[in-house]
Structure 1
Amino acid sequence: MQPVLTLKDVNVYQGNNAVLTNINLEVKPGEFIYIIGKTGSGKSSLMKTLYADLKLREGEGTFVDYDLTKLRERDIPYLRRKIGIVFQDFKLLPDRNVYDNLLFVLKATGWSEKREMEVKINEVLDKVGMKHAVTKMPHQISGGEQQRIAVARALLNDPEVILADEPTGNLDPQTSVEVMQLLREINQNGKTIIMATHDYALIMKFPTKTLKVDSGTLFEVVQRTI
């Protein structure tokens, strides 16, 4: 099986500053991987490199069949169609309801058939248990529900990989567990998930392969199971 992600001798830059050096990583289809580390350690910079918000300048990187070193501006939307991204702060558009938030993403990624879009939106809302909120505005639903919608949005284009950048960062512990259970379920249905987090309680509760960013590098840590 081809890895969905391969990084070889990668250095990650923010401006002229190398925040991570000598990163080597391989992720296989269907894996669930945590990337842990303190705030400011470089987790988000690594994630941004994967979804092409930061350019990969040094080393080799292939992600969902795209060579990250040769990625052109016009390739980026196509790369992003093959991945789903879940952010800490939900990033829902506040001026439109749940349905229109999802519709906006489908239209932006090239969908045009009204009926197909409707079917797809209902399907992803069903997957995350949020069909009842289809006409609600983001401010009318809780943080946990907003994050479920954000997960639904990430599933719209049936991505090969979901990148979750601190997806429980703004949630209380109980809601964090619910969102985590949802992500685990999606993973068990075959999706690869790479999740940056510093929520150690969650990692202990849902142990899986864990990589740590520390002192500018990335290494695997062996978890102690409770």
Structure 2
Amino acid sequence: MSKTVLSLQGVDIFQNKHKVLSNINLEVQKGEFLYIIGKTGTGKSSFMKTLYADLPLEVGEGSIVDYDLKTLKERDIPYLRRSLGIVFQDFKLLPDRTIYGNLHFALKATGWKEKEEMDRKIHEVLDNVNMLAHIEKMPHQLSGGEQQRVAIARALLNDPDLILADEPTGNLDPQTSAEVMELLLNINKNGRTIIMVTHDYALLLKFPAKTLKCDDGTLFEVVHRTAQHQ
């Protein structure tokens, strides 16, 4: 039976009291892969911030991984974020500690205590993204693509039902973007739901999936033309 990981009904999205998206109705089932596209300033990031409760849900009804966004209390936000994996464009790795240290910090911040369990989990997620060999390196010693792989590993630490990826390939060259994309699709094949914001239309053609577009204050599904062979 499919499980709904995100449900929005009649949702308006606001940024600084200014309405950026109106009347969103969306159901995302477990295991789906979903792109969100649109020009800069059309509300993509505000939409994502509402999903991980960085912006409050003021109009409409919404639930994400069994949390009600409308009634969510401040104290529950860390628990919600534990159920989500969040991947950002700029990696957000801590520059003053190793890759191991970054992932250890994330586990401690989400309530893990047992060192053996933490070590096992860190090794597991780094192995999943082919970065285990770099466990003792500092972020500045890694390429952008490698840093994003570590950021994806960090997003997997708490076995999230849903991964929110906000322009995860935005700072990467085309080849590295494709490699990161293949990694995300592999994670999706293993049953994790992914919602990804992107402005990289080449990726959409190469890796087609259900696509929603932010435009003119609304969010709607778009149907891709089939990519022409070059």
Question: C-alpha distance in 2, partners of 1:43/1:14?
Answer: 11
* Match runs of 1:68-217 below 5 Å: 68-217=69-218
* CA offsets 1:15-55 (integer angstroms, 9 cap, x no match): 21001111111100000000000111110000000000000
Give the CA deviation at 1:165: 0.2
Structure 2: distance between partners of 1:13 and 1:66 = 20
Query: How far 1:224 sits from its partner (Å)?
Result: 1.0
Hey, what's the Cα distance between the residues in 2 that align with 1:151 and 1:196?
15
Q: Distance in 1 between matches of 2:220 and 2:108?
A: 39
Whether 2:31 is the aligned partner of 1:22: answer: no
Matched position secondary structure for 1:92:
coil
Give the AA of the match of 1:143. Answer: G
Q: Verify: 1:4 aligned to 2:5, yes or no.
A: yes
Q: Which runs of 5+ in 1 are unaligned?
A: none
- Deviating beyond 4 angstroms after TM superposition, the runs of 4 or more aligned structure 1 residues are none
**Equivalent position SS for 2:4:** coil
Q: Distance in 2 between matches of 1:209 and 1:86?
A: 19
User: Distance in 1 between the 2:79 and 2:111 partners?
Assistant: 10
- Alpha-carbon deviations, 1:186-208, whole Å to 9, x = none? 00000000000010000000000
**In structure 2, C-alpha distance between the alignment counterparts of 1:74 and 1:80, rounded to whole Å:** 11
User: Any idea what SS the aligned residue of 2:27 has?
Assistant: strand
What percent identity do the matched residue pairs reach?
Answer: 71
Instruction: Please state whether the residue corresponding to 2:70 is helix, strand or coil.
Output: coil
C-alpha offsets along residues 48-85 of structure 1, whole Å, 9 cap, x if unaligned?
A: 00000000000000100000000000110110111100
Q: Secondary structure in 1 aligned to 2:203?
A: helix
CA distance in 1: counterparts of 2:224 and 2:20, whole angstroms: 25
- The answer for the alignment partner of 1:59 in structure 2 is 60
Q: 2: CA distance between counterparts of 1:128 and 1:153? A: 10
For 1:30 and 1:62, how far apart are their aligned partners in 2? 17
**AA aligned opposite 1:222:** V
Determine helix, strand or coil for the equivalent of 1:4. Answer: strand
Aligned equivalents of 1:128, 1:176: Cα separation in 2: 14
The whole-number CA distance in structure 2 between the counterparts of 1:223 and 1:29 is 22
Asked if 1:38 corresponds to 2:39, the answer is yes
Deviations 1:161-220 (A, max 9, x none): 000000000000000000000000000000000000010000000000000000110000
Per-residue CA deviations over 1:106-147 (Å, capped at 9, x if unaligned) read 000000000000000000000000001100000000000000
Distance 1:217 1:79 in 2: 26
CA distance in 1, matches of 2:23, 2:79: 27
Does the residue aligned with 2:39 lie in a helix, a strand or coil? coil
Q: Could you tell me which residue of structure 1 aligns to residue 219 of structure 2?
A: 218
Deviation, structure 1 residue 2: 3.0
